Amino acid sequence: MWAALASVAFIVVQVGIFLAWPPPRDSRGFFELLLDNPVLGVVALDGLYILSNLLAFLLYLALAVALWRVSRSAVVIALAFGVLGMAAYMASPRPVEMLSLATAYGQASDAERVALIAVGDGMLATWTGTAFDVYYFFNLATLLIFAILMFRTPVFRRSTAIFGLIAAALMAVPSNFGMAGVVFALLSLVPWAVFAVLVARDLRRLVAPSERGAVNAPGRGG
């Protein structure tokens, strides 16, 4: 539950920083940003989004437990997509590599800087390359399966499942697909955030009776 809310908080912070300080468009800009403000540079390279995704995966694990009795096979498939997609994503960001290159860039000669910029351009290309798209589509599959399963259990409210479906639909266009991808990515964050909050609410409602039962249960006498 708390993982869902923390994931939303990280997303809000990441989007706020993105709007206030748009990320550079090339490796030279990232190098200069990392040298001037390393923290902001790492955030611009999806530093917070890495943490947000880890928390989102914990949310998926909680959903897997809650939906296990609905369809074990579907839950296993959803988790398989989730694990593979998350592994693909964790292989794509390059904040540490870019920070290392920026440090070298700051100490390099003009000729060396040309070579470092070329390396940085390659890093940025792999950041939003094949692994990133695999993560996007596999995450879509995971969310779609879980949202469909939610309609088949009273544990989750219908509104929760609907927001999950909307978020999954908006993930059909990865953020690296030009301006359309950026628009879809930003739009998908709204239903995803609502979905995460609703999931936290529904899971809280699910565990609340057991917590009350534990508190009210008579203790064992010695």
pLDDT in tens, 3-62: 788 888 888 888 888 888 899 989 999 999 999 999 999 999 988 888 888 999 999 999
CB of 129 closer than 8 Å to CB of 94: no
Over residues 88-122, the pLDDT tens digits come to 999 899 999 999 999 999 999 999 999 999 999 99
- What is the distance between the alpha carbons of residues 15 and 190, in angstroms, rounded to a whole number? 11
In terms of C-beta distances under 8 Å and separation of at least 24 residues, what long-range contacts does 65-71 make, across chains too?
A: 66/153, 66/155, 66/156, 66/203, 66/206, 67/146, 67/149, 67/150, 67/153, 67/155, 69/153, 70/149, 70/152, 70/153, 71/149, 71/152
Token pair listed for 18: 């993105």
> How far is the C-alpha of 33 from the C-alpha of 29, rounded, in Å?
6
